[in-house]
Chain A
Amino acid sequence: MEEVLGRFKGSRGELIGILQAVQERLGYLPERAMLRIARFTKVPESQVFGVSSFYAQFRFKPVGRRRVMVCQGTACHVRGGAKILDEIEKRLKIRPGGTTPDLEYSLDTVACIGACALAPTIMINKDTFGRLTQKKVGDIFGGTPEKGGE
């Protein structure tokens, strides 16, 4: 953290750059980091949070070892992307933006990952999985979907 800050002067204008650099290093923006950034830039902590919560790129929770990105682009949507997302949510018991407590998975939605031919698709870290069905999702993630879960 201190090493990342060392690359900046600590001016207000650098705030977004600092937030990005810190997120790159830590994977997300924990509260401690935000407090430190607030002190470093002399920007009130509420404003540091205000800015970072405005931009979708910033994460406030740690990322899992496997980052699941579920495509909700047009092609995937047409071919049941929403059901796939639903199924994954049930199996991992988290919502988009969340991370499993064991830090194994985190879940996000994305718009088109450029593999429309394979729709509906998801990516786990760098690997793409296509032509998904609820069953295939089960094979990938294991676990049993809870009836009437979320």
Chain B
Amino acid sequence: METVTLTIDGMEVRTQKGASILEAALARGIYIPHLCHHPDLGPFGACRLCLVDVNGRMLLACYTPVAEGMKVSTETGALASIRKMTMMLLLNDHPSDCTVCSKDSKCDLQKVSAHLGITKADLAILRPARRENPVDTSNPFFDRDLAKCILCGICVRTCDEIQGAGAIDFGFRGSKTTIATLWDRPLAESNCESCGECLVRCPVGALVPKGAKEPSREVRTTCPYCGVGCQFFLGMRGNEVVSSRGYRGSPVNHGELCAKGRFGHSFVNHKSRITKPLIRKDGKLVKTSWEEALTHVATRLAGYKGDAFAALCSAKCTNEDNYVIQKLARAVMGTNNIDHCARLCHAPSVAGLAQSFGSGAMTNSIEDLLETKCFLAIGTNTTSAHPVIGLRIRKAVRNGAKLIVANPREIELCRISDMFLRQRPGTDVALLSGLARIILDEGLEDREFIAQRTENFDEFRKSLEAFDTATVERITGVPAEELRHAARMYATVKPAALLYSMGITQHSHGTDNVLACGNLAMLTGNLGKPGAGVNPLRGQNNVQGSCDMGGLPNVFPGYQRVDSAEARLKFEKAWGVALPSKPGLTLTEIFDGAINKAIKAVYLVGENPVLSDPDAHHVEKGIKSLEFLVVQDLFLTETAEMADVVLPATSFAEKDGTFTNTERRVQRVRRAIEPLGRPDWLVTCQIAKAMGAKGFDFQDPAGIMAEVASLAPQYGGVTYDRLEGPAGLQWPCPSKDHPGTPILHTAKFNTPSGKGKFVPLGYIPPKELPDDEYPFLLTTGRSLYHFHTGTMTRKSDGLNVLHPREFLEIGPEDAGRLGISDGERIVVSSRRGKVEATAKVTAASPPGVVFMTFHFAESRTNLLTSPHLDPVAKIPEAKVCAVKVEKA
């Protein structure tokens, strides 16, 4: 680091080259008044309060870089009077209702005013010329009172430089200058993403949270929503969660949060939480004691030991919760019938990437994405589903990285993309193989990598014969020229990271899609290097962890196969019981099994399959056919209402544990308030103990993690002590002295041969395509403001305001032809069912394709979707089905 020495007010100050005078002074503890400077943002020079004297000239300290030998005075008579004048002009515009302003005592305007010694007499000569701005209360989380705005531009720059949303800018000019959205509309009507990043940086009371309550204490923990795993300080007053503040020390989010993580926690204290166990008596669910509920569950379950039982664990619950659930299923109930909703999102990633690379997880780290020079984002609406990862992409693109978006819908990222490939839904194998073929034809492959690190290349090359550019253009609808351009960009701009999500996996050929991603990355040598890789973005907060913990029918914790005698022996020894060797049923098969009476009892934790699973009628029928259903959840969900026993669980705020995020990072969840129910791990252990099982006497989650570490090699070195650090630990972390692994496959792959495996593929069209009767292709996804089936987010009032109803997005031409206008109620039907929704006419939907999310109980999108399964991963084809659309 090059350093520079200068003197400030006669004091020698040594600082980093390139720093501004203001930064140098502040770092040394010398205060220079300033209002428009923010350490996260570039210099702006708007407030003009930071004037200093440099070798006799007056310069802005925030804008002037330090230089060797520079002599700076921060106080002179001239400076004081100029600053005072500047400040008076600001105060002239500013309302003086400080005592009732929620920024009172934390306001920078007050601070500067006090520093400059502005007196009442000074204010008396002002002639207030206040701007008239009604307070914008449209955003559900914070208000904008622009009469208090000092036009420092911090919010504008935050929204642009940090959030990359660009929802606001300076509008108009002269005395009318204000912070405006497009058309100076209320914030809620703009493209604001409600991240609140501007809110936390506004130096005055112009942006203030609604109903703000200062927390009386804070606890650092992990966001319970998506797989990004942002770290924040949860703020409490008594037993109520009142705030959340991003943790700047985290390599995951560096203090940034999305709307859900910052404002989405009111579900914790929601009045509809269940706090007492419920038991079905005479057909009705009635309150009961824990004693009775647990004894009843234990007695009934004892009658269903073996393969008549199935457990569904949860990607929302902690690793420790999931570990004991699968242990209960395997060691106590004697069956491998255990699965969870990963089946519905990333089972193909686990299956496909295990085949290609030997390890089914994101190869690189989130932080890595800042080093990426070219992104191929396929089937991921990152800014909606994984907002903080979306920020990394936006930032890298700002710094010059290329971005190729491949998606049937015009998603937000297209605004900043270099290329937008709009493939027809379900044609990803053709698209990816077509790109691979062009790369080979043009000789752009990484020969060295292929020769040294991979196998099966020749077969793969042969399989590409079917994917000449003309054919691929015909199948995908992407013009040949664009295919060529994209292939060249991805192959030559390195490192290139491939990111994907459910747009790749939720297909009847989801595993093939994943394999095609692996092939393309190996072909270009984009593996095992910073900024490269194949990166499945996992949906739920702990979907990675619940797979790691063996919440899958074919593997024990740590992906050790149940049909391997060696692995079984290891677990039998550890658990002291004989274990079943037959892989169990998958989620979808469990409901089939229920219908044909093979499955009679189910223990279901933290899931709501009646809403989340494709072909919901079928699921409902399965659940109704069960003899005994136990549901453990925070709320009386649609599924819980059908249960025989409902056990009140606890949210992330009420228990200790760990979540493993999408980049394999194990992070702590910390108890912040008194539990309203009982921690899930404890409930499961109590059921097991009531059944007379051994090996469930855990004192706390740390004890469970110790057992996990002794059995799952990836977690070998994970202990709660080590997780106290700011970054957690990224698996594989095989031993106590291992630092964890940010990038997989750097030297060799995890496959038996140590080489990456190319897999030849063919194109298989989606199982259900539009026809005369059902002319539209329905594809599903999620909204920025809701999460999964909405059991949590829909309990947050603010998030509901932003996305209150289910919308069906339809392109303008199609809507015009059907005579449907924006906002009209419509009926969508498929071969399996129909739902009502509100039409949203938008060019984001290409002709012939309509889009819905699946967060709403009133419009159950999953009544429509197709049950066709991927043959390997058994994931249902939620992304493609044929529907018709009519006026309601």
The residues of A with any CB-CB pair to B shorter than 8 Å are 31, 34-35, 38-39, 42-51, 53-54, 60
Residue from B160, B171, B173 whose CB has the most chain A CB atoms within 10 Å: B171
| Contact B416–A48 (Cβ < 8 Å) | no
Alpha-carbon gap, A34 to B190, bound state (A): 13
What are the 10 tightest A-B residue pairs by CB atom distance, in nearest-first order?
Answer: A44-B166, A50-B169, A45-B182, A46-B169, A47-B169, A49-B182, A53-B171, A53-B172, A54-B173, A50-B171
| CB closest chain-B residue, reference A35 | B182
Residue from A42, A48, A53 whose CB has the most chain B CB atoms within 10 Å: A53
Alpha-carbon gap, A51 to B172, bound state (A): 8
> Which residues of A have CB within 8 Å of B105?
none
| Contact A45–B171 (Cβ < 8 Å) | no
Alpha-carbon gap, A47 to B153, bound state (A): 13
Q: In the complex where A49-B169, A50-B171, A54-B172 touch, is A31 in contact with B183 (Cβ < 8 A)?
A: yes
Q: In the complex where A34-B182, A49-B180, A53-B180 touch, is A44 in contact with B165 (Cβ < 8 A)?
A: yes
> Which residues of B have CB within 8 Å of A60?
183
Q: How far is the CB of B403 from chain A (nearest CB, A)?
A: 11
Interface of A is mostly: helix
| Contact A46–B172 (Cβ < 8 Å) | no
Whether B152 sits at the interface, judged by CB under 8 Å, is no
Pick the contact of B171: A35, A44, A49 (CB < 8 A).
A49
> Which residues of B have CB within 8 Å of A44?
160, 165-167, 169, 191, 415
Q: How far is the CB of B181 from chain A (nearest CB, A)?
A: 5
| Contact A53–B166 (Cβ < 8 Å) | no
Q: Mark B163-185, 1 if CB is under 8 A from A, else 0.
A: 00111111111000000111110
> Which residues of A have CB within 8 Å of B168?
46
Pick the contact of B182: A39, A42, A48, A54 (CB < 8 A).
A48
Q: How far is the CB of B498 from chain A (nearest CB, A)?
A: 23
Alpha-carbon gap, A43 to B191, bound state (A): 13
Give me 22 A-to-B residue pairs in the complex whose CB atoms sit less than 8 angstroms apart, sorted by A's number.
A31-B182, A31-B183, A34-B183, A38-B182, A39-B415, A44-B165, A44-B191, A44-B415, A45-B182, A45-B190, A45-B191, A46-B167, A46-B168, A46-B191, A47-B160, A47-B166, A47-B169, A48-B182, A50-B169, A51-B169, A53-B171, A54-B170
| Contact A50–B415 (Cβ < 8 Å) | no
Pick the contact of A53: B165, B173, B416 (CB < 8 A).
B173
| CB closest chain-B residue, reference A39 | B415
| CB closest chain-B residue, reference A51 | B169
Alpha-carbon gap, A4 to B558, bound state (A): 60
The residues of B with any CB-CB pair to A shorter than 8 Å are 160, 165-173, 180-184, 190-191, 415-416
Pick the contact of B184: A34, A49, A51 (CB < 8 A).
A49
Alpha-carbon gap, A38 to B172, bound state (A): 18
> Which residues of A have CB within 8 Å of B191?
44-46
| Contact A46–B181 (Cβ < 8 Å) | yes
Residue from A38, A44, A47, A54 whose CB has the most chain B CB atoms within 10 Å: A44
Residue from B166, B168, B181, B184 whose CB has the most chain A CB atoms within 10 Å: B166
> Which residues of A have CB within 8 Å of B172?
53-54
> Which residues of A have CB within 8 Å of B170?
50, 54
Q: How far is the CB of B155 from chain A (nearest CB, A)?
A: 11
Q: How far is the CB of A149 from chain B (nearest CB, A)?
A: 22
> Which residues of B have CB within 8 Å of A51?
169
| CB closest chain-A residue, reference B192 | A46
Alpha-carbon gap, A39 to B191, bound state (A): 13
| CB closest chain-A residue, reference B178 | A53
Q: How far is the CB of A62 from chain B (nearest CB, A)?
A: 15
Alpha-carbon gap, A40 to B168, bound state (A): 18
Alpha-carbon gap, A38 to B170, bound state (A): 16
> Which residues of A have CB within 8 Å of B181?
46, 49
Alpha-carbon gap, A39 to B171, bound state (A): 19
Residue from A31, A42, A46 whose CB has the most chain B CB atoms within 10 Å: A46
Alpha-carbon gap, A31 to B190, bound state (A): 12
Alpha-carbon gap, A53 to B170, bound state (A): 9
Alpha-carbon gap, A60 to B184, bound state (A): 12
> Which residues of A have CB within 8 Å of B171?
46, 49-50, 53-54
Alpha-carbon gap, A60 to B182, bound state (A): 12
> Which residues of A have CB within 8 Å of B180?
46, 49-50, 53
Residue from A49, A51, A54 whose CB has the most chain B CB atoms within 10 Å: A49
| Contact A46–B416 (Cβ < 8 Å) | no
Alpha-carbon gap, A34 to B168, bound state (A): 14
Alpha-carbon gap, A51 to B171, bound state (A): 7
> Which residues of A have CB within 8 Å of B166?
43-47
Alpha-carbon gap, A35 to B182, bound state (A): 9
Alpha-carbon gap, A50 to B181, bound state (A): 8
> Which residues of B have CB within 8 Å of A45?
166, 182, 190-191
| Contact B415–A46 (Cβ < 8 Å) | no
> Which residues of B have CB within 8 Å of A46?
166-169, 171, 180-182, 190-191
| CB closest chain-B residue, reference A47 | B169
> Which residues of A have CB within 8 Å of B173?
53-54
Q: How far is the CB of A34 from chain B (nearest CB, A)?
A: 7
Alpha-carbon gap, A28 to B172, bound state (A): 16
| CB closest chain-B residue, reference A43 | B166
Alpha-carbon gap, A18 to B166, bound state (A): 20
Q: How far is the CB of A86 from chain B (nearest CB, A)?
A: 22
Q: How far is the CB of B145 from chain A (nearest CB, A)?
A: 19
| Contact B415–A42 (Cβ < 8 Å) | yes
